[in-house]
């Protein structure tokens, strides 16, 4: 076990950046989020074009920028759309990412003490498979991604209402301006867990918050 933890911590610096990258996306407007996704995608395209230009062309065709999801306020990302780069690399050393859902607060006019805001990314859900991970997901998030000691979900007062299943336990992390949630998922061969990270301040003051559904 000591050797295993040593090997895990060898990846710590790079892996920590995965959680930090998700946190850095929170609070960004839609245009900025697309720009961040495109940066990831360009890395993949450059690496692919040198060896398989036809495949790179097919990948580029799937990376079309979608319009802002004004109704659902949710942008699903996977390997077949503009989220290809993020879905491929986030948590790549430890988990397999099936899909990432981005949830936005709609643009809102000034009201009371709140200034006018453009649309903002307020929550991110990562649906993942941890079946090949050397440690349970919660232990990985602490040992490798350096998240603090978690709280049991049943005792944590979250700012948002998450799609949490009864009887499956789960944990929450208070990360200051952000909160993170993890719970296992049953009955899905591709997804064994859901990880959430949310901007507490923006979500709590959003006049039209998104409905957090997978």
Give 189's pLDDT tier (boundaries 50, 70, 90).
Answer: confident
Residues of the chain with pLDDT > 70, as a percent, come to 93
Q: Which of 36, 19, 40 is nearest to 93 (CA)?
A: 19
Q: Which of 194, 204, 192, 190 is nearest to 171 (CA)?
A: 194
117/209 Cα distance (integer angstroms) = 13
CA dihedral 75→214→79→41, nearest 10 degrees, is 40
Q: Are 200 and 159 in contact (CB under 8 A)?
A: yes
What's the mean per-residue pLDDT of the chain?
A: 90
**Under 8 Å CB-to-CB from 80, ≥6 apart: which residues?**
62
Judged against a pLDDT cut of 60, whether residue 11 lies above it is answered with no
- As beta bridge partners, residue 178 has 175, 199
Distance of CA 213 to the CA centre of its chain: 14
Q: Are 210 and 202 in contact (CB under 8 A)?
A: no
130/132 Cα distance (integer angstroms) = 6
2/36 Cα distance (integer angstroms) = 37
- Residues 39-43, mean pLDDT to the nearest whole number: 94
Range from 8-12, 102-106, 123-127, 199-203 carrying the lowest mean pLDDT:
8-12
Q: Are 84 and 66 in contact (CB under 8 A)?
A: no
20/25 Cα distance (integer angstroms) = 9
For the record, the structure tokens of 96 come out as 């397999």
Q: Which of 80, 98, 101, 110 is nearest to 33 (CA)?
A: 101
Give 10's pLDDT tier (boundaries 50, 70, 90).
Answer: very low
- As beta bridge partners, residue 120 has 105
DSSP code per residue over 5-17: HHHHHHTHHHHHH
> What is the predicted pLDDT for the residue at 7?
43
């Amino acid at each position: 076990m000591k050797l295993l933890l040593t090997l895990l911590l060898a990846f710590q610096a790079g892996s920590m950046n995965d959680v930090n990258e998700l946190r850095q996306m929170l609070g960004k407007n839609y245009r900025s989020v697309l720009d961040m996704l495109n940066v990831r995608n360009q890395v993949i395209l450059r690496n692919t074009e040198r060896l398989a230009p036809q495949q790179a062309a097919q990948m580029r065709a799937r990376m079309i920028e979608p319009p802002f999801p004004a109704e659902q306020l949710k942008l699903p990302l996977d390997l077949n759309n503009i989220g290809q780069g993020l879905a491929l690399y986030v948590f790549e050393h430890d988990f397999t990412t099936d899909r990432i859902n981005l949830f936005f607060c709609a643009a809102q006019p000034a009201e009371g003490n709140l200034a006018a805001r453009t649309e903002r990314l307020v929550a991110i859900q990562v649906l993942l498979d941890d079946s090949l991970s050397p440690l349970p997901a919660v232990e990985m998030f602490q040992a490798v991604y350096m998240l603090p000691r978690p709280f049991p979900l049943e005792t944590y007062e979250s700012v948002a209402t998450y799609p949490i299943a009864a009887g499956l336990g789960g944990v929450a992390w208070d990360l200051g301006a952000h909160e993170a949630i993890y719970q296992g998922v049953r009955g899905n061969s591709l997804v064994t867990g859901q990880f959430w990270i949310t901007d507490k301040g923006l979500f709590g003051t959003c006049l039209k918050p998104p409905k957090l559904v997978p």
